[in-house]
Amino acid sequence: MQISSHPVSGVWKLKIEGEIMANPYLEWVDKDTQTQRLEIVDKVFIGRSCKGVDPQKRILVHHEKVSRDHAVISRGLKNIQITDMSKNGTWINGTRMAAGSSGNLVDGDTIRLGDFSCQVYFPDDFTTVKDRPVFTQYTMVTPAEVVVTNLVADVREFTTFSQANASSDVYALMKEIFDTFSTIITKFKGTIKDYAGDAVYAFWDHDVEPVAAQAVLACQAAIEQTRTTEAIRTKLARKNIAVDSLQMGWGITTGKVTLSHYGSRAADLALVGDCTNLAFRLSGLANKELSEKIVICSQTAELVQNQLSIKDLGSIPIKGRKGQEHVFALNQPR
């Protein structure tokens, strides 16, 4: 096993001659169309410089969207985890990781950052378990304008709801909502942006898949979330009276945002744009001023109308915004 003394296509080149990998490993094709591999013995760092890291434990990627210390892959006794430490994002199988988060990798997963992608492979006797270490990051990002679909799931009248119920009951209910909804967002390849007190905010980055496909995934996630609210009520009904008054609304919008950071942590990811604000506004109207549970903007409606059933709600005034917005309801299949 040899690592070259210079980066090739932004990646430190690993030569393996007829060697069978005893450990999990990363595999990629370099600029010269040569297959390269790097074993995961304990940790592998991927980034623009990875300063101070043993060359045999790092992959250098020289790309403007790759952070100095972008991601770290860590090996446990029976699992492999990746932790995003970047400001421009890390994608696993086409789904963007939540900023600063960790996740388990399985055999065959594809990792993408900047213009670099690799796959992870496990030996036959390597199995996975859940175990999540935490790491930090240090680099900043240049703001970039991207197209996203936003999904906001909001608890109705949360202030009154919290006042009327014990804090322990409110916490238990919100934890159940957050855990359940997060699983659904991940299932439909979304990225969890924030848990904003009484709301779950996620987005789908259109840089990965065609715009319509991402919008449809966001809508499908919202539909499944509405279905699970009754299951949450049933699960908690006997031991949590707070669940009796649970009502929620969903807002979905599509548009351009500036993706950047306000702070120094990876978790400080910011999506700034009118469509983000509108998603929160629509979620506040849904299942309240408007009887429909899922309210979507006209841009999202145009993208999903050929695959999902929608209802035209006309143009309505929205508090805090000038003029009126043409909105639609997302009908839920029976």
Q: Which of 99-113, 220-234, 290-304 has the highest mean pLDDT?
A: 290-304
Whether 67 and 153 share a structural domain: no
> Which two tokens mark 325?
């917005």
* Cα distance between residue 90 and residue 69, in whole Å: 12
Whether 56 and 155 share a structural domain: no
Q: Can you give the pLDDT at residue 177?
A: 87
Q: Can you give the pLDDT at residue 13?
A: 38
294 touches 253 (CB < 8 A): no
Residue 131 in any domain: the answer is no
Q: Can you give the pLDDT at residue 334?
A: 66
Query: CATH number of the domain that 87 lies in?
Result: 2.60.200.20
The residue from 58, 87, 121 where one domain ends is 121
Number of domains in the chain: 2
Position with higher pLDDT, 139 vs 213: 213
Q: Can you give the pLDDT at residue 267?
A: 53
Q: Can you give the pLDDT at residue 138?
A: 34
Find the length of the chain.
334
Position with higher pLDDT, 266 vs 151: 151
Least confident of 97-101, 129-133, 152-156: 129-133
How many C-beta atoms surround the C-beta of residue 234 within 10 A?
A: 10
Report the share of the chain in percent with pLDDT over 70.
82
Residue 150 in any domain: the answer is yes
pLDDT digit string (tens) for 4-50?
Answer: 333 433 443 344 444 555 789 999 988 888 889 999 988 999 999 99
Residue 139 in any domain: the answer is no
Whether 104 and 202 share a structural domain: no
The residue from 75, 106, 121 where one domain ends is 121
Whether 114 and 148 share a structural domain: no
Whether 223 and 104 share a structural domain: no
Least confident of 68-82, 183-197, 245-259, 312-326: 183-197
Per-residue b or e along 240-275, where b marks 16 or more CB atoms closer than 10 Å to that residue's CB: bebbeebebbbbbbbbebebbbeeeebeebbbebeb
- Put residue 302 in one of left, alpha, beta given phi > 0 → left and psi -120 to 50 → alpha: alpha
pLDDT range class, residue 110, cuts 50, 70, 90? very high
Residue 67 in any domain: the answer is yes
Mean pLDDT of 110-129: 81
- Please state the pTM of the whole predicted model: 0.63
Query: CATH number of the domain that 267 lies in?
Result: 3.30.70.1230
pLDDT range class, residue 2, cuts 50, 70, 90? very low
Question: Which among 259, 242, 248 has a CA at the least distance from the CA of 199?
Answer: 248
Residue 218 in any domain: the answer is yes
The residue from 121, 136, 169 where one domain ends is 121
Domain of residue 87: give its range. Answer: 2-121
Q: Can you give the pLDDT at residue 131?
A: 40
pLDDT of residue 310 exceeding 90, the answer is yes
CB-based burial of residue 142 (10 Å sphere; 0-12 exposed, 13-18 middle, 19+ buried)?
exposed
Position with higher pLDDT, 88 vs 292: 292
The whole-chain average pLDDT of the chain stands at: 81
Residue 64 in any domain: the answer is yes
Residue 225 in any domain: the answer is yes
Least confident of 65-69, 84-88, 254-258, 265-269: 265-269
pLDDT range class, residue 231, cuts 50, 70, 90? confident
Residue 138 in any domain: the answer is no
